[in-house]
């Protein structure tokens, strides 16, 4: 715009009017340049514009030649002369390189002038976001940082694994989106279900029969489409099991036979849903009494660094075996007790430790002593067993092996009996009792009296 100033001069008798023109001042632009950013991040452009007398219109131009979609964001700082504005713009992420953007400011009049400022943008290769996974098995407890090695889960029932990706981070402090995926190609049985796969927190539901490995992957993504991933592997296995090949409850003449089960959890994690199951010699479930109530396949919990004592009895004599299934490693034993029925006084007690399953069991054998065995078949197939004793010839001392009657056990069946001692067996010097099976079985060897009263357990070596 031009402003006209008039001055009047008198020259002689003539009056002369002189008009003086004042030159217009274009807008002034101050830009923030250069802008340094990373690949994948939006680009923030900023400038300050002033004009002494006129309002202005603004536009951004991408100088690389492509059509720009940047809209100017104008904030009025001063609405009176001199006018002042803050003008910004947001450019979507650009590849690695150097770019220039121009801000145009044009005065709003026909003879208005245009000024521009140029911003240089340097886009460098930046660090991707960092994905982190925390997990928790079950619905209570704290979350733990996921290890790089597989997490082993011994399942006694269906389980949920809570997943947390909220500690993932963007080096530039940006907001991340989360996406979970599960690879079940290593699963050999059972099923898994992934919930809330698009949230920072997700849940994997695992069926009780799931076996094999599953791999969970967390992908985090920046607004500029840069990604980071983290994985955690779950190794799904069957329960950890303690086997007790001999248990008994019920009245026995003037005594009462009781089975006392001692279980110890020495770990720092609670053992939840521990199952204690009893089976009769025919393989059918037993339901002895605990505190006067039938024990029917119900789970119990053993807190970390603690133990449980369970005293089982029954109004009828019942004999069989027991198994304890747990997701945590426990240790324990069975106390075989004989109680005076009249005085409730403990008369005798023998401790029977858990037995490892295997296809071969070897124990000490002395032909001059009464020896009994208890064998249970915890598997799903019939087991065929052979038995023999090995000792020294009474004259030469040379090793002699004598075969004993074999037997078969259907799944979950148990048998207990004395070792049959023929005249040849009785003549041998002390040696070994050897029991072999085509399926995994559990074995306890006992030293007894002639009448069958248990005196002690004998050591057993088990070969898988």
User: What per-residue confidence (pLDDT) applies to 41?
Assistant: 79
Q: Which homologous superfamily does the CATH classification assign to the domain defined by 28-124? A: Immunoglobulins (2.60.40.10)
User: What per-residue confidence (pLDDT) applies to 381?
Assistant: 97
Provide CATH code, domain 240-353.
2.60.290.11
pLDDT tens profile 146-168: 999 999 999 999 999 999 999 99
Point out which residues pair with 101 in neighbouring strands.
62, 119
User: What per-residue confidence (pLDDT) applies to 150?
Assistant: 97
pLDDT-based confidence at residue 444 (cuts at 50, 70, 90) = very high
- Name the residue ranges covered by the structural domains of the chain: 28-124, 134-237, 240-353, 358-463
Alpha-carbon distance of 43 to 70, in angstroms, equals: 11
pLDDT-based confidence at residue 14 (cuts at 50, 70, 90) = low
> CATH top-level class for 134-237?
mainly beta
Is residue 190 a contact partner of residue 236, using CB atoms and an 8 Å limit?
Answer: yes
User: What per-residue confidence (pLDDT) applies to 68?
Assistant: 62
SS3 sequence of the chain: CCEEEEEEEEECCEEEEEEEEECCCCCEEEECCCEEEECCCCEEEEEEEEECCCCEEEEEEECCCCCCCCCCEEEEEECCCCEEEEEEEEECCCCCEEEEEEEEEEECCCCCCEEEEEEEEEEECCCCCECCCEEEECCCCCCEECCCCCEEEECCCCEEEEEECCCCECCCCCCCEEEEEEECCCEEECCEEEECCCCCEEEEEECCCCEEEEEEEEEEECCCCCEEEEEEEEEEECCEEEEEEEEEEEEECCEEEEEEEEEEECCCCCEEEEEEEEEECCCCEECCEECCEECCCCEEEECCCEEEEEEEECCCCEEEEEEEEECCCCEEEEEEEEEECCCCCEEEEEEEECECCEEEEEEEECCCCEEEEEEECCCCCCEEEEEEEEEECCCCCCEEEEEEEEEEECCCCEEEEECCCCHHHHHCEEEEEEEEEEEEEEEEEEEECCCCCEEEEECEEEEC
Alpha-carbon distance of 178 to 162, in angstroms, equals: 15
User: What per-residue confidence (pLDDT) applies to 2?
Assistant: 38
Query: Is the pLDDT confidence value at 5 over 50?
Result: no
User: What per-residue confidence (pLDDT) applies to 306?
Assistant: 97
Whether 134-237 shares its CATH topology with 358-463 is answered no
pLDDT-based confidence at residue 8 (cuts at 50, 70, 90) = very low
As a whole number, mean pLDDT of residues 230-236 equals 98
User: What per-residue confidence (pLDDT) applies to 398?
Assistant: 95
User: What per-residue confidence (pLDDT) applies to 110?
Assistant: 87
Q: Is the pTM of this model over 0.75?
A: no
Listed range (292-301, 316-325, 395-404) with the worst mean pLDDT: 292-301
Q: What percent of the chain lies above the pLDDT cut of 90?
A: 77
pLDDT tens profile 314-355: 999 999 999 999 999 999 999 989 999 999 999 999 999 899
Query: Is the pLDDT confidence value at 40 over 90?
Result: no
Backbone angles phi, psi at 297, to 5 degrees: 45, 45
pLDDT tens profile 85-127: 999 999 988 888 899 999 999 999 988 999 999 999 988 877 8
Distances (CA, A) of 343 to 106, 249, 391: 110, 18, 45
pLDDT-based confidence at residue 7 (cuts at 50, 70, 90) = very low
Give the closest residue to 67 by CA, choosing from 75, 77, 59.
Answer: 59
pLDDT-based confidence at residue 462 (cuts at 50, 70, 90) = very high
Domain 358-463 has CATH 2.60.290: yes
Point out which residues pair with 373 in neighbouring strands.
417, 445
As a whole number, mean pLDDT of residues 284-291 equals 93
Is residue 299 a contact partner of residue 159, using CB atoms and an 8 Å limit?
Answer: no
User: What per-residue confidence (pLDDT) applies to 66?
Assistant: 57
């Amino acid at each position: 715009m031009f402003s006209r100033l008039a001055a009047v001069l008198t020259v002689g008798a003539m009056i002369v009017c002189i008009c003086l023109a004042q030159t217009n001042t274009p807008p002034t632009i101050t830009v923030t340049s250069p802008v340094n950013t990373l690949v994948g991040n939006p680009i923030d452009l900023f400038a300050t514009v002033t004009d002494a007398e006129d309002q202005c219109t603004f536009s951004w131009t991408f100088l690389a030649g492509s059509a720009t979609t940047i809209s100017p964001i104008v904030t009025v700082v001063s609405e009176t002369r001199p006018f002042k504005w803050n003008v910004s713009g947001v450019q979507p992420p650009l590849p690695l390189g150097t770019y220039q953007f121009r801000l145009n400011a044009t005065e709003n009049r026909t003879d208005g002038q245009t000024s521009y400022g140029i911003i240089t943008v340097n886009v460098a290769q930046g660090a991707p976001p960092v994905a982190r996974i925390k997990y928790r098995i079950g619905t209570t407890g704290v979350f733990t940082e996921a290890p790089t090695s597989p997490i082993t889960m011994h399942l006694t029932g269906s389980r949920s694994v809570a997943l947390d990706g909220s500690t993932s981070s963007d080096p530039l402090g940006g907001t991340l989106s989360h996406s979970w995926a599960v690879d079940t190609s290593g699963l050999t049985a059972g099923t898994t279900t992934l919930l809330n796969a698009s949230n920072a927190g997700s849940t994997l539901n695992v069926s009780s029969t799931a076996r094999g490995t599953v791999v969970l992957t967390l992908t985090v993504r920046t607004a500029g489409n840069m990604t980071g991933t983290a994985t955690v592997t779950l190794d799904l296995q069957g329960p950890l099991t303690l086997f007790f090949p001999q248990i008994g409850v019920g009245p026995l003449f003037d005594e009462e036979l009781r089975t006392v089960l001692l279980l110890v959890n020495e770990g720092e994690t609670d053992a939840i849903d521990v199952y204690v199951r009893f089976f009769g010699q025919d393989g059918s479930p037993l339901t002895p009494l605990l505190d006067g109530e039938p024990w029917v396949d119900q789970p119990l919990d053993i807190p970390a660094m603690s133990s449980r004592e369970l005293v089982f009895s029954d109004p009828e004599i019942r004999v069989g075996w027991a198994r304890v299934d747990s997701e945590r490693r426990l240790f324990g034993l069975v106390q075989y007790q004989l109680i005076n029925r009249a005085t409730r006084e403990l008369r005798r007690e023998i401790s029977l430790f858990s037995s490892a399953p295997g296809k071969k069991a070897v124990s000490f054998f002395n032909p001059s002593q009464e020896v009994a065995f208890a064998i249970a078949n915890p598997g799903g197939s019939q087991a065929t067993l052979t038995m023999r004793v090995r000792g020294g010839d009474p004259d030469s001392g040379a090793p002699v092996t004598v075969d004993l009657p074999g037997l078969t056990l259907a799944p979950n069946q148990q048998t207990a009996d004395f070792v049959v001692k023929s005249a040849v067996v009785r003549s041998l010097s002390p040696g070994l009792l050897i029991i072999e099976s085509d399926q995994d079985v559990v074995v306890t060897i006992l030293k007894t009296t002639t009448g069958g009263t248990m005196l002690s357990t004998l050591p057993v070596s088990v070969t898988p």
